[in-house]
Chains A and B, each alone.
Chain A
Amino acid sequence: MNIFDFFRDRKKSNTASVAKERLQIIVAHERGQRSTPDYLPALQKELVEVIRKYVNIGNDDVQVALENQGSCSILELNITLPDR
């Protein structure tokens, strides 16, 4: 710090709190993903391939999500078929 800074307003924007906020969000998000099993992406890919044998769909048209509710898990499949 030099003589100029000394007289300048010392309350500058607090970048550390921005960092903390961003970290809290991304870490919570990534922890949520951590609990999902490793096979979900592969499952999604194979489902797309099977459905493609019959209907032409894009890679993102099959959404796979696993939800844990107490002792049971629900595998949710959401398949969007193209407009006819």
Chain B
Amino acid sequence: MAKILVVTSGKGGVGKTTTSAAIGTGLALRGHKTVIVDFDVGLRNLDLIMGCERRVVYDFVNVVNGEATLSQALIKDKRLENLYVLAASQTRDKDALTQEGVGKVLNELKENFEYVICDSPAGIEKGASLAMYFADEAIVVTNPEVSSVRDSDRMLGLLASKSLRSVNGSDPIKEHLLLTRYNPERVSKGEMLGVDDVTDILAIKLLGVIPESQAVLKASNQGVPVILDDQSDAGQAYSDAVDRLLGKEVSHRFLEEKKKGFFERLFGGN
């Protein structure tokens, strides 16, 4: 049975699209046929992160409006056999997506894919609520920072009350916490909320911790999902997170600061 997974956060700029691209690519790498759907109508960016921005012909809204078929709009990834992208529209019409239209497209995708990843826009408006409405599982992307944690808690409230699963009384959406832009050094100095602090407050299961990493910007510059950079800390952390999503027990890495030598501490930057 296909699974619909929403990547959401409330707050913007925490790494939803980076996460959608990485998790989707990770699932495809492991042999699962996956599509990543951009719900950020008007501000699409998943195509850039995935490196397929020049191959967008038709988009999500075209499919909803019947102007194109799904197979015309789906963009096949050039690197992986099992990976597809459905781009958001750049229209300024806020009501371009309807619950009925989105439901129809997602149902069609469920017939052809094992995983449908919904990349939610920031905020709690229509795009964000539609992205989560049909979800079976949710990845709540959070930075260790007060506004992001508060917004994540708000999203958890919405996931529990404003989704198809809550409306028809079936099992609630399974929630996963993904802590991104984590800096163990600052945590140990008491300058940043630690993993335990955030899991204490949000009280949901931790899917992974992605360290603040230069690899993320490098990857987005090139349009390559960071998970494909398997030498990087962020890439490896995402890879672990995908394994956990698939039910594997993997211990968390990159939670401790790297030990610096005496001279590095004396003369090193920051």
Contacts and interface: CB of A to CB of B under 8 A. Distances in A.
Interface of A: 1-3, 6, 10, 12-17, 19-20, 22-24, 26-27, 30-31, 34
Given A17-B190, A34-B157, 6 more contacts: A1-B265, A3-B266, A10-B189, A14-B190, A19-B193, A23-B149
- The B interface is mostly helix, strand or loop, or mixed, namely helix
Contacts of B268: 1
Nearest to A33: B157
A13 B189 CA distance: 9
B126 to A, nearest CB: 17
Interface residues of B, number: 23
B154 A16 contact: no
B267 A16 contact: no
B62 to A, nearest CB: 34
B96 interface: no
A42 to B, nearest CB: 18
A43 to B, nearest CB: 19
Nearest to A7: B266
Contacts of B201: 20, 23-24, 27
A30 B267 contact: no
Interface string B146-186: 10011001100100010000000000000000000000000
